[in-house]
A and B are shown apart, each in its own frame.
Chain A
Amino acid sequence: MAQTPALSTLQDPASRFTVTPGVRRKRRTEGAAKWILSGMAAMVILPLLLLLTHLVVKAWPSLSLDFLLEVPLKGMTEGGVWPALVGTFYLIAVALLISAPGGVLAAIYLNEYARENWFHRTVNLAVINLAGVPSIVHALHGLGAFVYAAQFGFSIISAALTLAIMTVPVVITSTREALNSVPMAFREACWNVGATRWQTIRRVVLPNSVSGILTGVILEVSRTAGETAPIMFTGAVFYKAVERGDLFPYFLNDQCMALSMHLYVLATQVPGVKESLPYATAVVLVGLVLLTNSASIMLRMWLRNRKKW
């Protein structure tokens, strides 16, 4: 890193070098740059944190365990978020079931099988593009491909498939990173005792990268939970009557409510909503996303500390 003893000597007033005007100017610029840059970093982070705190403050009157378990009441102007919460869990579970194995296999191909050639580069470019395509375009694709062409109709399965395609790059990238961090020597040692390529992957590479893969999967959960546009036209609805605390309100071919969609609806479509209600929904959504993300970050830190090579 940049901090080396040479620098502190330079800044030390009692340095035995003579302080010429040039050096003084240099130090002044250095100090100014440091202040301006740290100010910029502060201006980036503080407003964002302030806005999130503002959300929590505004949501406070509605926040309780009851808010999570209650269904929306009185034309969605009061009550809680239970059906949306369950719907989001359904969507996450189905999307994960499809994209996590696919993403891990794709990453294994890219890291363990593919050679450096034009085809490999094309696959890479496709992965980057899949992550970069606007979410509304994914929604159009889900509508055209799953709802109409495959005739799944407006359903959890269509929405989850759309979400799965949208979030699979997250799993691919982080799994690749995890696989890539397993030293080549491990593989070579395994090959030399006569293992095949798949045996090497199964017994050596995967066990050594499983936590890294898990990090990616958790990240994907958080991505999936927050997306709105892709599910808006493929399977999420404004309202669906669900019993309070009902754990299995939907079938896979049903439409469902989702937290992100619920927030959009409360904020823009329903008149006369209790003021703290959309804020509380936003807080639940942000809380869910940040919790899963923190879990992923903690797992990664634990992993880094534990690593022996």
Chain B
Amino acid sequence: MRHYPTMGRLHREAMRMTDTPTSKPTAVARPQRPLWAIWGEKALELLIRFAGVSAIIFVMSIFFFIFREAAPVLESDRFSLGRFLGSVEWYPTSATNVRYGILALIVGTAWVSGLAVLIAVPFSLGSAIFISEFCGPRLKEALKVVIELLAAVPSVVWGFIGLTVTSRLIVEYAGATVGVNVLNGGLILALMCIPIITSIAEDALKAVPDSYREAALALGATRWQIVYRVLLPAAKTGLLAAVLLGVGRAIGETMAVLMSTGHAVQIPHGLLDSVRTLTANIAAELGEAPAKSEHYRVLFMTGVFLFIITFLVNLAADITVRGVRKQK
């Protein structure tokens, strides 16, 4: 949709006519561009094309280099993919019996990010609807700016808040013995995800054409009826994409969960148990694992696993969004 094909062809034609000697000689000799300018331009366009491809190169490079560091462990007899994904026993530094099982970490990630999404989604969608449909233009502008600023607060600061503020609140009011647990991590992660999901969901609502709203108004619908009879069905794929991106973010978040979930590698039995997530595990142990050791390589294997998971989530979000575009 960017380039009108006819215009492009005419344009190229015109270029050819001025460049080739077979074009009609004109009365006044046209000034020609110097050769270096023409070749410089060609080189620059090559550079631009290369930069365009670079995103693909980066993604492949990420996969390649992580997998390259992880791959040798596949040949070790102390590592099997089945036990890696299916066992809860994570004893990477045991002197007698080394076991690498990340199931407890997977479950920890699922609990924390699941809780975070459960808390964040209703609030995010509610505030997105409020910002998009119910408040006046000035308040709308102000709220959007605040949400954008909140989305920018670094994750290590959220982790710090989780460690110092909310964990103490949880000990005091929820009666937990340790403040850093699933509830704390989920809460902090939810606080982090809310601004992101809100702003994407607000965009999705904004993308619904105004004519839909006007048609509903003309039939006598109230604003709430417009929201849940017209807007939510019309924007549902966009909202789903927002939620999916929030999920991806929650799974991949590192510093905040590292600092706010405690460090117990276990399957949690309740919200007040400490857990460890996949991301936090890498961050906590990579510094201690000697380079190129088996432990180090297993941590890279965890990275490969994480990469694949988030890749799939992002792919799902992208396909959802593309579905929306096709509809229009």
Q: Which residues of A contact B (CB under 8 A)?
A: 1-4, 6-7, 10, 26-27, 29-30, 33-34, 36-38, 40-41, 43-45, 47-49, 51-52, 54-55, 102, 105-106, 108-116, 122-130, 132-141, 143-145, 148-149, 165, 168-169, 172, 184, 188, 191-192, 194, 196-199, 222-223, 225-229, 232-233, 260-261, 263-264, 267-268, 278-279, 282, 285-286, 289-290, 293-294, 297
Q: How far is the CA of A164 from the CA of B234 in the complex (A)?
A: 37
Q: Using an 8 Å CB-CB cutoff, how does the interface string of B229-268 with A read, 1 for contact, 0 for none?
A: 0000000000000000100110111110001000000000
Q: Is the interface of A mostly helix, strand, loop or mixed?
A: helix
Q: Which residues of B contact A (CB under 8 A)?
A: 1-4, 7, 11, 14-15, 18, 41, 44-45, 47-49, 51-56, 58-59, 61-62, 65-66, 68-69, 122-124, 126-127, 129-131, 133-137, 143, 145-150, 152-157, 159-161, 163-165, 191, 194-195, 198, 210, 213-214, 217-218, 220, 222-227, 245, 248-249, 251-255, 259, 279, 282-283, 286-287, 291, 299-300, 303, 306-307, 310-311, 313-315, 317-318
Contacts of B1 in A (CB 8 A): 116
Contacts of B148 in A (CB 8 A): 293, 297
Question: Contact at B224–A33, with CB atoms within 8 Å?
Answer: yes
Q: How far is the CA of A122 from the CA of B57 in the complex (A)?
A: 11
Contacts of A1 in B (CB 8 A): 137, 210, 213
Contacts of A122 in B (CB 8 A): 56
Which residue of A2, A7, A191 contacts B7 across the interface (Cβ within 8 Å)?
Answer: A191
Q: Is the interface of B mostly helix, strand, loop or mixed?
A: helix
Question: Contact at A102–B51, with CB atoms within 8 Å?
Answer: yes
CB nearest neighbor in A for B300:
A140
CB nearest neighbor in A for B253:
A134
Q: Supply 11 further A-B pairs (C-beta < 8 A) apart from A132-B249, A263-B160.
A: A26-B222, A40-B123, A45-B127, A48-B191, A108-B51, A128-B314, A141-B61, A226-B157, A228-B154, A268-B163, A286-B153
CB nearest neighbor in B for A278:
B160
- Closest CB in chain A relative to B282 CB, distance in Å: 5
Given A34-B134, A264-B259, check contact A106 B55 (CB 8 Å): yes
